[in-house]
Amino acid sequence: MTKDGDAIGRDHVGKQSQDLMEMESCYGAHNYKPLPVVLNKGEGVWVYDVEGNRYMDCLSCYSAVNHGHRHPVIVDALKKQADKLTLTSRAFFNDQLGPFLKELTEYCGMEMALPMNTGAEAVETAIKAVRRWGYNVKGIPENKAEIIVCSGNFHGRTTTVISFSSEDSYKEGFGPLTPGFIEVEYGDAEALKNAITPNTCAFLFEPIQGEAGVNVPPDGYLKKVREICSENRVLMVDDEIQTGFGRTGKRFCYQHEDGAVPDVLILGKALGGGIYPVSAAVASREILGVFDPGSHGSTFGGNPLGAAVARASLDVLQKEKLAERSAELGSYFREKLRSFNSPYVDHVRGKGLLVGVVLKESAKGARRFAEALMNRGILCKETHYDVIRFAPPLVIEKDDLEWALAHIKEVLTLPELPLLKGE
């Protein structure tokens, strides 16, 4: 996208961008396949490349940037804390962690929180917590605890987490894998019920599967899951790393259904306000009380800089009513997408400003559309080959959303498919 708003050519990549991409490719492991754009500035919903071209961020770093880029309140909190104290070991107390834990648990309606840094660390924390709860509280025989997971799940990239992934490519070459996980069909409450044994300690799930293509379960699924888990003394563990903090139009996605309160919330991404990695497992005293000194930890988890940033993040979410904005604009966004009468689109799904455009087989994949949108100044990403994921920052204005929709409509109604390089 040029500075005056005209679409740039598909083959246009500035020399500075090209040099930086080649440098990254030369010196970095090739574990990502990014779009060919090199960013160096961001503000609100907009980001800029090194040549000065402007783009709307419609990915939000997979919901980590719910507040928009460099939200001034959160940046100010970061600067003020950085001028005082950035890191202390958990061997000592600091003046930010206690207030952060209090504010986070009150926001979540829970009793205790265990802070970490990345989402994957929070998932690992939850796995360790529910296993130890299974042994110490439920009475499961040692080393026999089972956790039920869902097909199509994505909970991170650690060795344990990939061990129960449905994606073979996530596991290939990384064995031996961690045992103790049972997979059931996502959205099928009866499958969950039938899989439970006396050794089942928890059911781990996403209320909407983001990486699986914004996969939304049937209405009533979460409430039924809650009933099954309660009846069988199984902990209901809700991974809201991508769906939490207003992304789906509620504080947390499980709140779209009454009577679906989980036992454990796994949080990350937007908790750090798009500025600093902060994550947490949040639960009752009975569950997180299974940890004792030395049983779990993190050098950076609960550090004062991260705690101060997260406190500002929670404050902005509430004062600016970002969940309510997401609900209103997300409903409008999906309605407009469904009205385009695109020859390539099978259906549109999602909640709030987490939206998946599912393409027909004849569309030949979503990557070509992501690249075509990039050339019109919109950054989004394909997921699971045939889904375009849109997730703009929750601070987006309706006028900006309208601008994006005009370009999205143009791309989704092209008479000929845009070609990828080499085709």
Cα–Cα distance, 14 to 313 (Å, whole number): 35
- Among residues 224, 250, 269, 381, the one annotated as catalytic is 269
Cα gap 355→215, rounded to integer Å: 10
Reply yes or no on whether 239 is catalytic: yes
Distance CA 254, CA 226 (A): 10
Helix (H/G/I), strand (E/B), else coil: 113: strand
**Catalytic position from the list 154, 164, 181, 333:** 154
One of 49, 238, 239, 263 is an active-site residue; which one? Answer: 239
Residue 15 is among the residues annotated as catalytic for this protein: no
Q: In the β-sheet with 381-383, what is the strand arrangement from edge to edge?
A: 345-351, 354-359, 387-390, 381-383
Task: Provide the 3-class DSSP secondary structure of residue 16.
Answer: helix
Beta carbons within 10 angstroms of residue 83's beta carbon: 8
Those residues whose C-beta lies under 8 Å from the C-beta of residue 67, and which sit 6 or more positions away, are 74, 270, 273, 274, 313, 316, 317, 322, 393, 394, 395
Indicate if 245 belongs to the active site.
Answer: no
Find, among 270, 282, 266, 273, the residue nearest to 308 by Cα. Answer: 273
DSSP state letters, 310-341? HHHHHHHHHHTTHHHHHHHHHHHHHHHHHTS-
Residues that are catalytic: 154, 239, 269
